Structure 1
Amino acid sequence: MTDREHIQTLLTVARRYWLEQASQAEIAKEIGYSRSMVSRLLDEARRRGIITFTVQHPLERAIELEDDLTRTFGLSCARAAMADGDSAADEVSRMAADLVTTYMHSDSVIALSNGRGVASVVRAMAPKRHPEATVVQAIGGTARGNLLLDSPELCRQMAERLGCAYRVMPAPVLVSNPQVAAALKAEKSIGMTIAMASHADILVTGVGAVGVNSVAPIFDHVMPERAHAELLSRGAVGHICGHHIDAQGRHVDADFCQGLMTIPIDRIPSITHVIVSAFGAEKVPALAAILRGHLVTDLVTDIETAKAVLDHRDLG
């Protein structure tokens, strides 16, 4: 038998056994060999690389990405949803809600920002009884668009699920000048809320992308065009709790920041668990930036976004 003929025999035996599920006895009868000879042919096919084995599952890829994110950015935890489309949104929200539940103690203070991502996490929370916990608003309200995505309503919904008290911040996300901001923060109801959110045990937030032709939704109709232009000129790529950051995760301290009603950016790294729930190609530069700036401890996203963020790690 020539080598070509022998390899053809190896291919036939391997295909019949591994792909077509024929027994070694059946193959031996078909090709006129003994059963022991078929066994030796299968062993040879493995040695020569004709037969290769791959054991894999989407979960394995997700776990690899999670481990890579955790190591690269020094995270406490990373989770990557295996689903895509609407299913990914549901899975990301559920996994983020599970993290909140895992980290919660009976008397935890949980701070919430706003937006679709945070709203989805709140909706995914399973009802539990934590009457000694407190939910607190981390950023002023937008009072525009869908109020169900705004911080005051999200705090109420979360508190309802946990059977606990909540504190809201009766102030807009952005006021006209530093003097107005200082006066509002001096009000007990607002100052105490910001202080509590700044010392929360858990902060649940999304991340906003900054684009050339669009203002982040929470600043729609309230951020002057000149402020947006200044942020872009200074390299802003995203924001977290209203604070804009550049590609390296450094705070872009623009003039408009003095009018922000939100927790101070230097307090965010001091919060034990900062859980960011976000996914999508438009979020990648902002996510990579907040990770470089060590502004997040726990990231929940999907597989495609996780891969893109890791690919983006050296581009900042």
Structure 2
Amino acid sequence: MTQPIDIAIVGATGSVGETLVQILEELDFPVGTLHLLASMESAGSSVMFAGRKLRVREVDSFDFAQVRLAFFAAGPAVSRSFAEKARQAGCSVIDLSGGLDQALALVPEANGEQLAQQPLPVLLASPSAAAVALAVALAPLKGLLDIERVQVMACLAVSSQGREAVSELARQTAELLNARPLEPRFFDRQMAFNLLGRVGGADEQGHTALERRLVGELRVLLGMPALKVSVSCVQVPVFFGDSVSVALQSRRAVDLAAVNAALEAAESVELVEPDDYPTPVGDAVGQDVVYVGRVRHGIDEDEQLNLWLTTDNLRKGAALNAVQVARLLIKHMA
């Protein structure tokens, strides 16, 4: 029987932090004492866990020597300020912010075996939600395809930017439906009933930090450091649930029957019937799998494989993947 371990969640009052608390309880994770931490502004509030109200405390004054595992679900700056301190105090870290370049990115279905090589305490990263979805769907295909290039169009829900972005989309939608003047606040322009062709600022080459992060994460998760990857991230007027259009270029013809069989058998993948396709609202939200549909060749190329993926970005794409990594970590600790 697994012994309970004491855990901290940094960013416990945010969307991902609250989902982490929920999933730890749903999965009956072996939690000893759960410490909920946040910024000074959020400290003092309460979050329900296992039938009890737990008070949220300030992260600045917390002694990480009290816990063996900490989830960091706040922003990158918080992770950079406290994660290494936590590790030096003997606490392993699972970061969800993308702020720790030195942390090993893990998706258990894709590269979970790499954890066994890491000394404890360890810095780990749960990747971006789109990278999790891609890794879950593509890892089962590595042995079937001689992948040369991957092209990705990631359609990201506004919840990927936090609760304030969700509120902004709701407010904009209400204003437009009631014929009131629209004043963008969180986003720099209209988000409701619109698409934003860039998520975050761009560098001199025109790429955003999120796009570069996704490229790096996918190479690590698939164990293909030289893989050619092109990514465009688009903000879409959806509250929850990311969707990804992906095209893989293989050096040889793709066997669609073998691809479908591999996806059908893959862990955490739900393959949709050929005459159907998955959507965030109708399928993915609230679920713990990556839905895959529209499996097909390129129009003129049997060497190309096209897929459509959708998943709950807060659950499978963030909190659930982090908890699954934590499960592997507990085995590693034993």
State the TM bucket, normalised to the shorter chain.
under 0.3
TM-score when scaled to structure 2? 0.26
TM-score when normalising by structure 1 = 0.27
Structure with a larger share of its residues in helix? 1
